[in-house]
Amino acid sequence: MAAADDDDVYATSDAAWTTEADDQAGDAADDVGDGDARDASDGDEMTDEQTAAPAPTRTPRKGKGKGKGRASRPAGPGTAAATGRGDGSVVTADAPTGAEDDAAAAGAAGRKRTPKRQPTATATAAQAAQPQQPVVLRASGLVKRYGQTLAADEVDLEIRQGSIFGVVGPNGAGKTTTLSMVTGLLRPDAGTVTVLDHDVWSDPTAAKRALGVLPDRLRLFDRLTGGQLLQYSATLRGLDGATARERSADLAEAFGLGEALGRQVADYSVGMAKKIALAATLIHSPRVLVLDEPFESVDPVSAATITDILRRYTRGGGTVVLSSHSMELVQRTCDSVAIIVGGRVLASGTMAQVRGRRSLEDKFVELAGGRVVAESMEWLHSFSD
């Protein structure tokens, strides 16, 4: 067994896995105070000359007996000369009250509206020099037909180390077919898949050693207890008994299954069966996880626990590919995403690149053909007696 296979599933490293979405979030934080300047055209942006130009100053006129009690104050740079009244109020010399208000408002606007900060040459060079994480899973030109149905039509995917990559699409779009080909469970009619540069079909042993797979339809030995299932999965992956027991205890505690390990899996709820299957997928600490609907039938608390475990896993250098019908969950959890409709990849990239300024759900609905309105179902409003 390679030493990498014995690494603990919770092992983390000091490496910081950054994404383009994170960079954009940092840029957005730097631009706080710009207000609507982000959405303004270039012609509307304030220039350095506009913000730096001082307000015009006026020289107070000499009073003719009516100015008793007034004391002139020298005009400072960028300010208007002002005089003091006997009643304590201060006005700009020789300017009507309305003009004073306009000048003050203009000055305040000039102070608040600052020009957008342009990236420096050093920052741009550093950003360009930052290397991307290596591609750990690549699918190229995957094609799969079932009779006259084209389930996968030239599917291309690139998934980089340390990322959580989401695959979304409507029912029957080809998500499960694609993930089955990626993991070697289904042979494509055309195309190739490599995992850590090992071809899934010409070098299956090396490729599958790095994979942890949670299929869509769970196929568990449900007459085993939860503990026995974890031990069996660990043994298949070459772990010794002591390591298998230690990791089983860790995973059971993390997923909240400690009291259920002594019960048969057949007695588990659907959500508990999903969690024990995910624990069995993680027990050998694979380099790449491929999870088909890992959050289906899972309660919100367990979903949050699974998300936290996956994030810790990727921070340690692991990579996750998952499919889900929950757009909000994918948007919150994943940093990259591919939208598959009709067996074709219609959009793929970082979350920010794919969804733009809209939500992932809105982008998905647009690409999937929009919402269908059932105009002809008037009978639905005629309730049965």
pLDDT reported for residue 380: 74
pTM exceeds cut of 0.85: no
Annotate 53-83 with b (16+ C-beta within 10 A) or e (fewer). eeeebeebeeeeeeeeeeeeeebeeeebbbb
Q: How far is CA 140 from CA 72, 165, 195, in A?
A: 80, 16, 12
Beta strands per DSSP E along 74-148: 82-84, 90-92, 135-146
3-class SS of residue 166: strand
Specify the CATH number of the domain 136-368.
3.40.50.300
- For the chain, give every domain's residue range: 136-368
pLDDT in single tens digits along all 385 residues of the chain = 444 444 444 343 333 334 444 445 445 444 444 444 334 434 444 434 444 444 455 544 444 444 444 444 444 444 444 444 444 443 333 444 444 455 454 455 445 454 555 555 554 444 455 578 899 999 999 999 999 899 999 999 999 999 999 999 988 889 999 999 999 999 999 999 999 999 999 999 999 999 999 987 778 898 999 999 999 999 999 999 999 999 999 999 999 898 899 999 999 988 899 999 999 999 999 999 999 999 888 888 888 889 999 999 999 999 999 998 888 889 999 999 999 999 999 999 999 999 888 899 888 888 887 666 656 777 777 777 6
- Please say whether the dihedral angle defined by the alpha carbons of residues 56, 57, 63 and 69, taken in this order, is positive or negative: positive
Distance CA 321, CA 340 (A): 14
Distance CA 122, CA 165 (A): 31
Q: Is 270 exposed, middle or buried (0-12, 13-18, 19+ CB in 10 A)?
A: exposed
3-class SS of residue 173: coil
DSSP β-bridge partners for residue 320: 164, 289
The DSSP line for 189-219 is SEEEEEETTEETTTSHHHHHHTEEEE-SS--
pLDDT reported for residue 16: 38
pLDDT reported for residue 15: 39
Distance CA 362, CA 346 (A): 14
Distance CA 331, CA 372 (A): 23
3-class SS of residue 227: helix
- Please say whether the dihedral angle defined by the alpha carbons of residues 224, 226, 228 and 233, taken in this order, is positive or negative: positive
For residues 166 and 336, the answer to whether their CB atoms sit within 8 Å is yes
pLDDT reported for residue 48: 41
Q: How far is CA 102 from CA 55, 97, 107, 176, in A?
A: 12, 9, 9, 64
pLDDT reported for residue 130: 58
Q: Locate 193 and state its tokens.
A: 């898949």
